[in-house]
Structure 1
Amino acid sequence: MRFHHLDLNLLVALDVLLEEQNITRAAERLHMTQSATSGVLGRLRSFFEDELLVQVGRKMQPTPYALELATPVREVLLTIRSSITAKPVFDPTSSKRHFRLVASDYLISVLFARVIQQIHQQAPSITFEMLSPGDNTSELLTRGEIDLMIVPERYLQEGHPSQLLFEEQHVCVVWQDNPQVGDSLTLEQYMQMGHISVGFGRNRHLSIEDWFMSQYGFNRRLEVITNDFNTLPQLLVGTQRIATMHRRLAELYAQYLPLRILPTPVKIPAMREFMHWHRSMDGDPMHRWLRERIGGIIHSLDQQPEQQPAPLRQVG
């Protein structure tokens, strides 16, 4: 297909070349030889009357004009994928769609394990790839390389649709036999205790530290930092430490581990979790179906009565 004498297939190559900035890696992704990929780059340079990628030492760097082209080229390709090549009629029961989702391990435990289970019953050929949040998550969304991400409100990107999924409260969790903690906590006691927290990314972003610093002018005494939410409750057992956790995850683990759940000594703002997706996917029927299923499942879970912790076995 040609548009103003430009073979639109070349835009696919341009998108990959601008992302990889390397002929060898781009050739591998395009399933072409290096010489053929170099030839494609030559044709692109001729059409746009710009070098697009220039050799700087051992690396290739995009020209200023190439950087201007990167976003509109990606937008055109995403529009073609979602609007032109997508089937207007969809049947979830026979769909073989593959969804790439970004969600923390906390969300997988309290929500997506159930989502995938129920969707398998309704659409057994749909497959999923779960990606952990990282420093490049926003870029993945912008480039349309993920179908959906579930993130707190502060990570939403302007210009792309979102939908509030649920609100989550924080609770404090301690080992059941922790002798230093009664049925409640004062702020002074809370700040004196050793804490277990979660850190993400290269900067080890800690979820509520910024809030504590802005409200009270000091940080918690962090004694253990782990890299996922599911290890928080496990690391509490047998210690006198404390963790501040999402309520849903704490209640899940309290069914299986000797833990006690307490209210936080101060009111921590609720965390608002949103579904967030690239604007090109907004009208995709299967994508909309998936969003509706996720929203319906979390609503049904919240309507269920609270489960009581399973009784602990006596050993010996």
Structure 2
Amino acid sequence: MRFNKLDLNLLVALDVLLEERNITRAAERLHMTQSATSGVLARLRSFFEDDLLIQVGRKMQPTAYAEQLAPPVREVLLKINAEITTRPVFDPTTSDRKFRIVTSDYFITIALADLIANISQEASGISFDILSPADGPGDLLARGEVDLLIIPDQFIDFDQPSEFLLEEELACAVWADNKLVGDTLTFEQYMELGHISVGFGLGRKLSVEDSLINEYGTSRRIEVVTHNFNTLPQLLLGTDRVVTTHKRLLERYAKYLPIKVLPTPVALPATREHMVWHRSMENDPMLNWLKEQMRQLVQSI
């Protein structure tokens, strides 16, 4: 199919070439030979009157024009997929859709695991691929590689539709045999104790540091940093340390582990989880069905 003398199939190849920046890998994804892929690149260069990808040492780098082309090309392909190739009617009982969701292990524990179990009873053909927020969720969403993000609002720094889903109060926890802490936790105790925190990605941004510094001009003494929320209660055992994290998560673990859940000694803002999706998927009946299932579930928590 051609539009203004452009073979629209070439847009798919251009999208892959600009993402991979490598003829061999692009050829594998396009199920073409390397010579055929090189031929496609030559046709693209001719149409756009630009080199698009140039060899720099052993790597290929996009030209400035190619960098400008990449976002609208991806948007066009996503829109075609969402509004032209997607069926307008969705029957979950017969669907084999795979949903790709980015969220934290906290949300998996308190909500998503139950949602997936519920869906499996109604729609056994639907499957899920869950990715960590450390995987660059904004980029994955922009490229259309995931269906849904479920993340705190402070991390929504990209221009896509979103919806508030759940508010979560923060709480503290210590090992039940911690002799330094009784039934309450003062601010002085809190600052004297060693802390266990969570950090995601290479930046290892910690959960409550900004709030403490902005409001009280201080930061915690971090002694252990782990990579997910579910390990926090386990790392408390046998120590005099303290954790500060989602109250629902701590209360769930307090049923099985010897930990005490306590109010935070100072006011800390609640976390607000949001669903975020790509604007091209606004009318996707399958994704809209999943979002409605999510809304119904969190209302029961």
TM-score where L is the length of structure 2 = 0.98
Counterpart residue number, 2:33: 33
Letter in 2 for 1:268: L
CA apart distance, 1:158 = 4.2
Unaligned runs of 5+ in 2: none
- Given that 2:138 and 2:158 are in contact with CA atoms closer than 8 Å, whether structure 1 keeps it comes out as no
Deviations 1:104-136 (A, max 9, x none): 111111111101000111211001000001152
Counterpart residue number, 1:312: none
Unaligned runs of 5+ in 1: 302-316
- Given that 1:104 and 1:132 are in contact with CA atoms closer than 8 Å, whether structure 2 keeps it comes out as yes
CA apart distance, 1:90 = 1.2
Q: Distance in 1 between matches of 2:287 and 2:232?
A: 33
Matches within 5 A, 1:189-228: 189-228=189-228
RMSD over equivalenced CA pairs, Å: 0.9
CA apart distance, 1:157 = 3.8
Letter in 2 for 1:72: P
Letter in 2 for 1:69: L
Deviations 1:286-309 (A, max 9, x none): 1000000011011112xxxxxxxx
Q: Distance in 2 between matches of 1:286 and 1:9?
A: 26
- Given that 1:187 and 1:265 are in contact with CA atoms closer than 8 Å, whether structure 2 keeps it comes out as yes
Counterpart residue number, 1:282: 282
Counterpart residue number, 2:240: 240
Counterpart residue number, 2:110: 110
Letter in 1 for 2:105: D
What SS does structure 2 have at the residue aligned with 1:230?
helix
What SS does structure 1 have at the residue aligned with 2:199?
strand
Counterpart residue number, 2:52: 52
What SS does structure 2 have at the residue aligned with 1:174?
strand
What SS does structure 2 have at the residue aligned with 1:200?
coil
Matches within 5 A, 1:172-187: 172-187=172-187
CA apart distance, 1:89 = 1.1
Matches within 5 A, 1:121-200: 121-134=121-134, 136-200=136-200
- Given that 1:135 and 1:202 are in contact with CA atoms closer than 8 Å, whether structure 2 keeps it comes out as no
Q: Distance in 1 between matches of 2:233 and 2:198?
A: 11
Deviations 1:235-282 (A, max 9, x none): 101111110010111011011101110000001001110000000111
Q: Distance in 2 between matches of 1:15 and 1:236?
A: 47
**Superposition misfits of 4+ residues, deviation over 2 angstroms:** none
Alignment length (residue pairs): 301
TM-score where L is the length of structure 1 = 0.94
CA apart distance, 1:159 = 2.9
Letter in 1 for 2:29: R
Deviations 1:164-222 (A, max 9, x none): 00100100001111111111111111000011111111111111112211222221011
